[in-house]
C-alpha cells in the first residue's frame, strides 16, 4: 500500500507542477514507482521469480 500511496502523491505533485524541469523529474519518479509496483505485483502473483537465475 505504501508504494501505491507514493504513486498517488506523485500524481498530485505532477498536477500542480508548473516548472518543466521539476515536472520531468516527477514524471521519471512516477515511472519508476509504477515499474516497482508492477514488479512487486508480478512477484506476488508468481508471474516472475525474485530468485536470481544462477
CB neighbour class for 54 (10 Å; exposed up to 12, middle 13-18, buried from 19): exposed
Rounded Cα distance, 47 and 49, in Å = 7
Phi, then psi, of 34 in degrees rounded to 5: -65, -40
Rounded Cα distance, 50 and 42, in Å = 10
User: pLDDT value at position 54?
Assistant: 77
Q: Mind listing the pLDDT tens digit for each residue in 1-49?
A: 699 999 999 999 999 999 999 999 999 999 999 999 999 999 999 899 8
Using DSSP's 3-state secondary structure scheme, residue 36 falls into helix
* Statement: residue 53 has pLDDT above 80: no
Task: Break the chain into its structural domains and give their ranges.
Answer: 2-39
Rounded Cα distance, 48 and 32, in Å = 18
Amino acid at each position: 500500500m505504501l508504494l501505491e500511496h507514493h504513486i498517488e502523491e506523485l500524481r498530485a505533485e505532477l498536477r500542480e507542477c508548473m516548472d518543466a524541469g521539476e515536472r520531468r523529474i516527477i514524471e521519471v519518479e512516477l515511472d519508476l514507482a509504477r515499474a516497482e509496483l508492477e514488479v512487486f505485483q508480478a512477484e506476488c502473483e508468481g508471474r516472475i521469480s525474485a530468485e536470481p537465475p544462477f
